[in-house]
Amino acid sequence: MPRQQRIRIIAAFTTLCVVWSSTWVAIKIGLADLPPISFAGLRFLIAFLLLIAVSIGRVPLLPKSREDWTLLGFTGVLMFCVNYGLLFWGELHVSSGLAAVLQAAIVIFGLGFAHFMLPGEPLRWQQVAGAALSVVGVALICGKLLGHGGMLAFWGGLGIVVGGAGAAFSNVLLKRRALQLAPAMIAAWQMIFGTVPLLSLGLILEGNPLNFRWTGMAIFCLLYLAVIGSALTFLLLYWLLPRMPVNNLQTISLITPPGAVAFGWLLGGETFSLWSLLGGALVLAGVWMIFRKGAPARAPADAELAVPQPMPRT
């Protein structure tokens, strides 16, 4: 591989790691001014418009059949409405670092759904052991959230895990039926199908977005998440997929949670108990076992969506 191409690949991979590590704290900071459901919906509305704008004239924009539209609609609701709606709401009550660790459970659910829905991807004992270790870590984190953060923290953490299950199911459905559509367009149409119910629910529960507290920081967090954390990262991811082994890309799942913890500590003033850190370490150790010993080069679950996404992201 030419040196210049190798530098571009390293730069793109590093950018993905840094940005996806930082989006968690950007969500947390933005939630100080913006309500969670509308915040998530506005993020993906902007990202959808950007992805459409950069794709016009380059790739076909529309799915080819009614079945494709149905699949994109269903998986879009699971991925962007259920998953991100619960994630943004959960971060009201859970630190950004712990939210990133809990979202890593998407890999565990992806293994289980793939075992039953994709004949070529049965579970192996190493994957089962890794999943079990991660489940112990998630249980430890949620238990400590219940003990120290109260019921809202517990339900917030559990909501993030449930949202991850929805995202995993969405990705397995996409992998079971490959769509003849550019990956950026798959992500874009999923986004808008998930955004419509998010914005509708937000309008009912949170009111008119024009009346929100639009501080400079709130606007910055929204634009950072939409432009950098969604549109740019999706384009970088899909540029990397044909140029980098999927197993190497999957290591982002191990890099971003510790990165999110670091950003939460540096920028959000977050602190973590020893037990929470231990639970996070168990989750990541289980994910490492799954990637290290699991089936070769497959895309377990996510985001944001299909190639399907080779790793969880936010």
Residue 309 belongs to some domain of the structure: no
Helix/strand/coil (H/E/C) assignment for every residue in 195-219: HHHHHHHHHHHHCCHHHCCCCHHHH
The token duo for 22 is: 């930082």
Say what the alpha-carbon torsion angle 93, 162, 308, 131 is, to the nearest 10 degrees: 100
Contact in structure between 164 and 83 (CB atoms under 8 Å) = yes
Residue 27 belongs to some domain of the structure: yes
If DSSP codes are grouped into helix, strand and coil, which group holds residue 55? helix
Task: Look at residue 147 in the predicted model and tell me its pLDDT.
Answer: 67
Task: Record the pTM.
Answer: 0.87
Tens-place pLDDT, residues 18-76: 999 999 999 999 999 999 999 999 999 999 999 999 999 888 899 989 999 999 999 99
Residue 310 belongs to some domain of the structure: no
Residue 246 belongs to some domain of the structure: yes
User: What is the domain count for the chain?
Assistant: 1
The token duo for 136 is: 């112990």
For the chain, give the mean pLDDT.
86
Residue type, 229: G
pLDDT exceeds 80 at position 284: yes
Provide the residue range defining the domain that includes 17. 3-293
Tens-place pLDDT, residues 193-212: 999 999 999 999 999 999 99
Alpha helix stretches (DSSP H) within 59-182? 66-76, 84-90, 96-103, 106-117, 125-144, 150-176
CA atoms within a 13 Å half-sphere pointing along the CA-CB vector of 147: 9
Confidence of residue 311 (pLDDT cuts 50, 70, 90): low
Chain centroid, CA 267 distance in Å: 21
Give CA angle at 1 (9, 230), nearest 5°: 15
The token duo for 215 is: 């501080």
Residue 305 belongs to some domain of the structure: no
Tens-place pLDDT, residues 104-151: 878 888 888 888 888 887 878 888 888 888 888 888 887 777 766 778
The token duo for 27 is: 């969500």
Q: How many Cβ atoms are within 10 Å of 191's Cβ, its own excluded?
A: 31
